[in-house]
Amino acid sequence: MSASPVTAVIVGAGHRGVGYASLSLSKPELLQIVGVADPDPVRRRRAAERFDIPPERRYETAQQMAEVPQFADAVINGTMDRDHVPTALPLLEAGYDMLLEKPICPNREELLELLATVRRTGRKLNIGHVLRYAPFYATIKQRILDGEIGEIYAIHTTEAVSYHHMATCFVRGKWNRREVNPMLLAKCCHDLDLIAWFKSGVAPRFVSSFGARTVFVEDRAPEGSGTRCLVDCAIEADCPYSARKHFLEQKLWATYVWHELEHLENPTDEDRERSLREGNPHGRCVWRTDCDVMDHQHVMIEFEDGTTASHNMITGTPRPGRDIHIWGTEGEIQGFMEEGRFVVRHIDARAGHEYSEEPVDLSVSMDMHGGGDMRLVEDFVHAVRGEEPSISSTSILDSIYGHLIAFAADEAMMDRRIVEIEDLG
């Protein structure tokens, strides 16, 4: 066991990779960033300047980095979903432990190849399921481990995706096609991971699912709407999905919207407006895009011990948030993450009573990912050091099973059948 800082390299110097690496700036005694790989010269330079990375440790690709002698303990892999496994494999083979952003990959074949590599090399692989580390979910997990509600036999979760989040990332944005990622994996891999984590050590076996595209379809386009908000739309000023309102006035989702302007040191509002008028996909009408992902979907899961679970994804909602309800043989837990509180209920057989209820208020409402981001990175550091991990860090199989549920749900929905998940031991 070592108390020295873990040294790490960034592979994929985008929002998530750099965000995780920022722990090194606030807690250098835990983490030091010593290298970067990114094909984009602007992102590579900016990351190098931010973390003081020398020129000889700046690479265009993960493969280039893997070909030189290992010079760090670990990798923070924040590449795009499709690049996760191709960039992870050579670096795991080269001896690096890895924190890999979620979702792991867009298909079952790559997922199983990654699992086989981890098992063969013995490297540590943590997935960026930050909600496990959010106080809301970590406290629920501890209550379960403490036996407060007995043995879990049913779970239900819901994620409501706000109208502007759905429109930005999954209708206009880079996750708007099933070929990139099934919608449940792209948006709800956290929720499916949580279900698998609450049932850690028990494999899911059967999955069914239903979903549809109902809201963001051309048949629902209002009269007077055009193809681009700032070009030919007569109702833009009053439209709830106006690109001007979301991206120029309210400045929502800047990380996702202005990628094509990253080469500009200080883009102006005029640059941004021109971008939305011209090629920027976020300037398109939400009812007239090439989007083919579901805007609402429901999945049902049966585990090998008979436990059942379900998850509802609802998009285009006024209020976003995540609900959870877990039933055990001796009680139940129910809560809403964004409020930062849940209740624990037990049967109360006293005269005049039906049940008792304990409210738990964590005072972390509306925190980014429930406060889990930096806790995730710190836990990864402890794991690389060989220290005792938290309850949020479990076998890679839990993460694998969460993803397999998503793939099975997409298949079940498209084929209208029940899909069996293989036993991975």
Stretch 304-325: mean pLDDT? 97
Q: According to CATH, what is the number of the domain 6-101? A: 3.40.50.720
Nearest to 374 by CA among 191, 130, 104, 51: 130
Residue bearing tokens 């694998």 = 400
Nearest to 328 by CA among 203, 205, 155, 197: 155
Tell me the pLDDT of the chain averaged across its residues. Answer: 94
Q: What was the pLDDT predicted at 263?
A: 82
Going by pLDDT thresholds of 50, 70 and 90, the confidence category of residue 3 is confident
Q: Which of 121-135, 162-176, 254-268 is predicted least confidently?
A: 254-268
Q: What was the pLDDT predicted at 351?
A: 74
Going by pLDDT thresholds of 50, 70 and 90, the confidence category of residue 6 is very high
Q: Residue 346: in which H helix or E strand, if any?
A: strand 341-347
Residue 293: count other Cβ atoms within 10 Å of its Cβ: 25
Q: How far apart are CA 271 and CA 168, in angstroms?
A: 19
9-68 residue pLDDT tens: 999 999 899 999 999 999 999 999 999 999 999 999 999 999 999 999 999 999 999 999
Long-range pairs of 382-385 with CB within 8 A, sequence gap ≥ 24: 383/97, 383/124, 383/126, 384/6, 384/73, 384/74, 384/97, 384/124, 385/1, 385/2, 385/3, 385/6
Q: Is the pLDDT of residue 405 over 50?
A: yes
Beta carbons of 46 and 265 less than 8 angstroms apart: no
Q: According to CATH, what is the number of the domain 132-216+291-420? A: 3.30.360.10
- The DSSP secondary-structure symbol of 101 reads P
Q: What was the pLDDT predicted at 262?
A: 82
Q: Is the pLDDT of residue 367 over 60?
A: no
Q: Is the pLDDT of residue 417 over 60?
A: yes
Tokens representing residue 421 in the block: 């998940």
Q: What was the pLDDT predicted at 370?
A: 54
Instruction: Report the percentage of the chain scoring pLDDT > 70.
Output: 98
Q: Is the pLDDT of residue 138 over 50?
A: yes
193-230 residue pLDDT tens: 999 999 999 999 999 999 999 999 999 999 999 999 99
Q: How far apart are CA 142 and CA 139, in angstroms?
A: 5
Beta carbons of 33 and 24 less than 8 angstroms apart: yes
Q: Is the pLDDT of residue 159 over 90?
A: yes
Q: How far apart are CA 44 and CA 26, in angstroms?
A: 21
**Which amino acid, 409?**
A
Strands 308-317 and 321-328: unpaired
Going by pLDDT thresholds of 50, 70 and 90, the confidence category of residue 1 is very low
Stretch 377-396: mean pLDDT? 93
246-268 residue pLDDT tens: 999 999 999 899 988 888 888 99
Q: Residue 34: in which H helix or E strand, if any?
A: strand 31-37
Q: How far apart are CA 394 and CA 390, in angstroms?
A: 8
Going by pLDDT thresholds of 50, 70 and 90, the confidence category of residue 8 is very high
- The DSSP secondary-structure symbol of 363 reads S
The SS3 call for residue 7 is strand
- Domain residue extents for the chain: 6-101, 132-216+291-420, 221-283
Stretch 130-143: mean pLDDT? 94
pTM: 0.93
The residues near 5 (Cβ < 8 Å, ≥ 6 apart) are 24, 28, 29, 30, 31, 32
Going by pLDDT thresholds of 50, 70 and 90, the confidence category of residue 396 is very high
90-123 residue pLDDT tens: 999 999 999 999 999 999 999 999 999 999 999 9
